Amino acid sequence: MSSVSDVIVRPPSAPAPAPSPSYLEDGHTLRSWLTTHDHKRIAILYAISITVFFFIGGLAATVIRLELATPAGDLVSHDTYNKLFTAHGVIMVWLFLIPSIPSVFGNFLIPLMIGAKDLAFPRLNLLSWYLYVAGGAIVLAALALGGVDTGWTFYAPYATMFSNSWVALTLVGVFVVGFSSILTGLNFIVTVHTLRAPGLGWFKLPLFVWAHYATAIILVLATPVLAITTLLVVAERLLQIGVFDPAHGGDPLLFQHLFWFYSHPAVYIMVLPAMGVVSEIVPCFARKRIFGYRFMAYAILGIASIGFLVWGHHMFVSGQSLAASLVFSLLSFLVAVPSAIKVFNWTATLYKGSIRFDAPMLYALGFVGLFTIGGLTGLFVASLALDVHLTDTYFVVAHFHYIMVGGSVMAYFGALHFWWPKATGRMYPELWGRIAAVLIFVGFNLTFFPQFLLGLRGMPRRYHAYPPEFHQLHMASSMGAVVLALGYLLPLVYFAYSLRATCRTSANPFGALGLEWQTRSPPPTHNFDRPPTVPEHVYDYATPTKAEPARTPAAQATSP
Amino acid sequence: MSAIAAPALAAADDAPRTAQLGMWIFLGTEVLFFGGLFVAYAVGRAHWPHGFAVASRHTDVVLGTVNTAVLLTSSAIVAFAVACADHPAQRRWTALALWATAALGVVFLAIKGVEYAHEWSEHLFPLADFALTEPGAELFWVLYFVMTILHSVHLLIGIVGVAAFARATGAGKSWPTPGRVDTMALYWHFVDIVWIVLYPLLYLVERHA
């Protein structure tokens, strides 16, 4: 370990001087929030709005699972069912998962982690939130007017010529939300390039920042392709002209290529930030330096770049050429290599660590396990022959839920717990945090593991009724969903409870080492009362002088 | 180690360098945006080589060429404005060059409007009364309109932006820093470059046959 005696870390017990108000106290009117340029406040605005959409999308999922509790299609009509899973997909993908970790935690933490006052373009940052809300409102309006029945994939020519639902309006909403993504990505890239504190080189950045940098590159390169694709679909639908409709000389496969050129990298938009979160939590609660820091950074870049070259694996049965399928299959296997490096390195970080199972750590460990299952089953569906059997079955549904929910949502909740004291200055009740983490983990597996089995046995996705032999597994899945829903509702209650003044905690209750922990909790509007000190190594947890005094039990919230 | 202790936080304002980097990244997104259309064009032309050849012969190559010249000239003038903006003494020239740039943008749009009017009277809009029967010709004209309209929207945004800079420069209030004129000019050049790709794709390809 390198010498760190000359690195100053403020002991968490020493109360910081408070000359300026915290970002939460700097203005109390609604107007002060809606016109703020402060990245931390914008992050809170995002957190509130994506929570609303998370529960609306979750409501759709609840009705879906209720319908599937019995083999007969008796709760909703097939038409309504189509609209329900479309609403669930559209809302969860574009209004929750894509903005979740980047727009909330990336926004809040990147300037703090690199020692900056704000993002490079604070006004663009606010604009991106307004675009997100506008796009979300348009999507909700389309739902209220009658919904969409195409599935979140909007395949042509059904979506362009035949569907009698609010396709165009929904796509306009998605288009607007896309611009919000682009602005956020642009802001992150410029910020990381130009606003790093003096001495903070690229290989001293936390992996959270690396992950968001890579995510931002995907956001700015993939989202515009979605934008032009949605525009073409809207034009084709409204004017009855054909780019994708074969009846007009168009090509439906062109739609799939353009759509997946965005939507596959979009999976990495969801999961790379999650990996960034886990890379912060695991070293902190294992009190170990992250294993293979540089490899972790390179693996992030590797995933981001190879991730752009695998979209054709969504089209193995579409009729694309065998040569194309072979190449896409090979590249999909290749993307598993950097992903596996990350899993092995997190595991190696745990080795001989002194591990604490606080709530954030439970979520992070849950992420590692579920992401591994999701990733390995991804290799099943990346295999050409096997995919013919598994395409459009529940196996695929289970696979991507393991990545998106088991991976990204677990990490999102881990981040919520880990940085809750940072953002609010309050500590959540640790016992309840652990209970919720276990509920979510158990509920998630109960819900989605049976879906692997259903898919293997041939249950197709997107049907509201099914043969009775699938009943047991569907029932298990629906029961699991109840547990999962309970797990998601619990944090809503105890986080709200913890906002009370009695739950006040110290600036750095977990003894974490990132730059964001060197300032007060909640931070002042301009982030730092005095310039943060850049340490030799961002994950220097193993050094006892730095690690030990910080290890106050998280559950014991200390009064100021 | 003292070099590492930060003397001050990096400023979070839109410094010209920051704005330029932001513009480059934005233009990167624009390349991908138009890239989707270029892919659609390539696929269409590979499917219907004859239909695209027949259809492209109905474009107005004279007006298209004039417009190319107009836009290239505007790009040269905006480059002149950037050079002038380096010297506060050349403030009047900067304003003048920016106004000229915006004016040429308007000329381009006017000529494009005349083209659209001709195409309307020749039933080249891909509607029920579309004039050409060759398979694939309709797809060409769909792409022609989507591409040129999106390009015009970008140009319109450029005109508004450049005119705003011209006004600020001429009005003698806040002198836009040189880096900012650069950022605006970057965008203008990009819109120009898109047209440089569209012009051969839509007007010149297969014209000989």
Domain presence at residue A11: no
Domains for chain B: give ranges and CATH numbers: 30-204 (1.20.120.80)
Q: What is the mean pLDDT of residues A279-297?
A: 96
Q: Do B32 and A225 touch (CB under 8 A)?
A: yes
Query: Residue B86: which pLDDT band, with cuts at 50, 70 and 90?
Result: confident
The answer to whether A170 and A87 are in contact (CB under 8 A) is: no
- Closest CA relative to residue A279, chosen from A342, A335, A351, A192: A342
The answer to whether B40 and A243 are in contact (CB under 8 A) is: yes
**pLDDT greater at residue B13 or residue A404:** A404
Q: What is the pLDDT of residues A128-154, one digit of tens each?
A: 999 999 999 999 999 999 999 999 999
Chain A environment of B47 (Cβ under 8 Å): 249, 251
B40 CB within 8 Å of a chain A CB = yes
Q: How many residue pairs bridge chain A and chain B with CB atoms within 8 Å of each other? A: 144
Does residue B153 register a pLDDT over 50?
Answer: yes
Written as one letter, the residue type at A494 is Y
Q: Do B36 and A232 touch (CB under 8 A)?
A: yes
Identify the sign of the CA torsion A98, A498, A410, A441: negative
Containing structural domain, residue A523: 36-547
The answer to whether A114 and A515 are in contact (CB under 8 A) is: yes
B5 CB within 8 Å of a chain A CB = yes
Rounded to the nearest angstrom, the minimum Cα separation between A235 and chain B is 9
The answer to whether A129 and A46 are in contact (CB under 8 A) is: yes
DSSP summary character for residue B103: H
Domain presence at residue A27: no
A228 CB within 8 Å of a chain B CB = yes
- Closest CA relative to residue A44, chosen from A380, A372, A416: A416
**For residue B48, what is the nearest residue in chain A, using CA coordinates?**
A249
Query: Residue B16: which pLDDT band, with cuts at 50, 70 and 90?
Result: confident
Q: What is the mean pLDDT of residues A182-199?
A: 96
B21 CB within 8 Å of a chain A CB = yes
Rounded to the nearest angstrom, the minimum Cα separation between A231 and chain B is 9
Q: Domain tally for chain A?
A: 1
A532 CB within 8 Å of a chain B CB = yes
Q: How would you write A343-402 as a 3-class SS string?
A: HHHHHHHHCCCCCCCCHHHHHHHHHHHHHHHHHHHHHHHHCHHHHHHHCCEHHHHHHHHH
Q: What is the mean pLDDT of residues A223-242?
A: 94
B7 CB within 8 Å of a chain A CB = yes
What whole-number distance in Å separates Cα of residue B203 and Cα of residue B131?
A: 18
* Predicted pLDDT at B85: 85
**For residue A526, what is the nearest residue in chain B, using CA coordinates?**
B9
The answer to whether A169 and A87 are in contact (CB under 8 A) is: no
Q: Do B1 and A6 touch (CB under 8 A)?
A: yes
A494-508: b or e for each residue (b if 16 or more CB lie within 10 Å)?
bbeebeeeebbbbbb
DSSP summary character for residue A121: -
DSSP summary character for residue A112: H
Rounded to the nearest angstrom, the minimum Cα separation between B14 and chain A is 6
Lowest mean pLDDT among A9-18, A287-296, B144-153: A9-18
Could you give the angle at the alpha carbon of B61 between the alpha carbons of B53 and B184, nearest 5°? 110
Query: Residue B88: which pLDDT band, with cuts at 50, 70 and 90?
Result: confident
A322 CB within 8 Å of a chain B CB = no
The answer to whether A408 and A270 are in contact (CB under 8 A) is: yes
ipTM here: 0.90
Does residue A335 register a pLDDT over 50?
Answer: yes
Q: Which two tokens stand for residue A270?
A: 């969801």
What whole-number distance in Å separates Cα of residue B109 and Cα of residue B115?
A: 10
Q: Do A242 and B11 touch (CB under 8 A)?
A: no
* Predicted pLDDT at A560: 37
* Predicted pLDDT at B15: 72
The helix (H) or strand (E) run that includes residue A241 is none
Query: Residue A428: which pLDDT band, with cuts at 50, 70 and 90?
Result: very high
Q: 151-180 in B: which are within 8 Å (CB) of A?
A: none
Chain B environment of A250 (Cβ under 8 Å): 44, 139
What whole-number distance in Å separates Cα of residue A159 and Cα of residue A249?
A: 17
Chain B environment of A7 (Cβ under 8 Å): 1
Q: What is the pLDDT of residues A232-241, one digit of tens each?
A: 999 999 988 8
Query: Residue A557: which pLDDT band, with cuts at 50, 70 and 90?
Result: very low
Domain presence at residue A265: yes
Chain A environment of B25 (Cβ under 8 Å): 186, 189-190, 220
Does residue A13 register a pLDDT over 60?
Answer: no
Domain presence at residue A8: no
Entry pTM = 0.92
Domain presence at residue A78: yes
Written as one letter, the residue type at A64 is I
What whole-number distance in Å separates Cα of residue A62 and Cα of residue A87?
A: 12
pLDDT averaged over every residue in chain A: 92
SS3 A119: coil
Residue B69: Cβ within 10 Å count: 11
Q: What is the pLDDT of residues A338-377, one digit of tens each?
A: 999 999 999 999 999 999 999 999 999 999 999 999 999 9
Domain presence at residue A23: no
Q: Which of B2, B9, B142 to mutate to test the interface with A (most CBs of A within 10 A)?
A: B9
pLDDT averaged over every residue in chain B: 88
* Predicted pLDDT at A248: 85
The answer to whether B125 and B142 are in contact (CB under 8 A) is: no
Distances (CA, A) of A436 to A243, A413, A477: 48, 10, 19
Q: Do B39 and A221 touch (CB under 8 A)?
A: no
Does residue A503 register a pLDDT over 90?
Answer: no
Task: Supply the CATH number for residue A260's domain.
Answer: 1.20.210.10
Domain presence at residue A513: yes
Rounded to the nearest angstrom, the minimum Cα separation between A260 and chain B is 12
* Predicted pLDDT at A348: 96
Angle between helices A167-194 and B16-47 (to 10 degrees): 140
Rounded to the nearest angstrom, the minimum Cα separation between B206 and chain A is 19
B1 CB within 8 Å of a chain A CB = yes
The answer to whether A554 and A509 are in contact (CB under 8 A) is: yes
Q: Do B4 and A222 touch (CB under 8 A)?
A: no
- Residue B83: burial class (beta carbons within 10 Å; 0-12, 13-18, 19+): middle
Among B14, B35, B135, the residue with its CB nearest the CB of A121 is B14
Could you give the angle at the alpha carbon of A529 between the alpha carbons of A525 and A531, nearest 5°? 115
Q: Which two tokens stand for residue A552?
A: 């106050």
Domain presence at residue A181: yes
**For residue A226, what is the nearest residue in chain B, using CA coordinates?**
B33
Q: Do B3 and A531 touch (CB under 8 A)?
A: no
Lowest mean pLDDT among A60-69, B9-18, B90-99: B9-18
* Predicted pLDDT at A77: 95
DSSP summary character for residue A116: B
Chain A environment of B34 (Cβ under 8 Å): 228
Distance of CA A294 to the CA centre of its chain: 23
Q: What is the mean pLDDT of residues A485-495?
A: 96
Chain B environment of A194 (Cβ under 8 Å): 10, 15, 17-18, 21
Does residue B37 register a pLDDT over 90?
Answer: yes
User: Which residues does A269 contact at the CB level (< 8 Å), separation at least 6?
Assistant: A98, A102, A181, A215, A218, A219, A222
Q: Do B32 and A221 touch (CB under 8 A)?
A: yes
Rounded to the nearest angstrom, the minimum Cα separation between A456 and chain B is 36
Q: What is the mean pLDDT of residues B88-103?
A: 90
* Predicted pLDDT at A146: 94
The answer to whether A286 and A353 are in contact (CB under 8 A) is: yes
Q: Do A533 and B136 touch (CB under 8 A)?
A: no
Query: Residue A230: which pLDDT band, with cuts at 50, 70 and 90?
Result: very high
Q: What is the mean pLDDT of residues A435-451?
A: 98
A50 CB within 8 Å of a chain B CB = no
Q: What is the pLDDT of residues A51-95, one digit of tens each?
A: 999 999 999 999 999 999 999 999 999 999 999 999 999 999 999
Q: How would you write A435-486 as a 3-class SS string?
A: HHHHHHHHHHHHHHHHHHHHHHCCCECCCCCCCHHHHHHHHHHHHHHHHHHH
Percent of the residues in chain A that have a pLDDT greater than 70, as a whole number: 93
Q: 242-271 in A: which are within 8 Å (CB) of B?
A: 242-243, 248-251, 254, 257-258
Query: Residue B169: which pLDDT band, with cuts at 50, 70 and 90?
Result: confident
Query: φ, ψ for residue A460 (rounded to 5)?
Result: -75, 155
What whole-number distance in Å separates Cα of residue A546 and Cα of residue A32?
A: 38
A116 CB within 8 Å of a chain B CB = yes
* Predicted pLDDT at B175: 61
Query: Residue B174: which pLDDT band, with cuts at 50, 70 and 90?
Result: low
Q: 45-74 in B: which are within 8 Å (CB) of A?
A: 47-48, 51
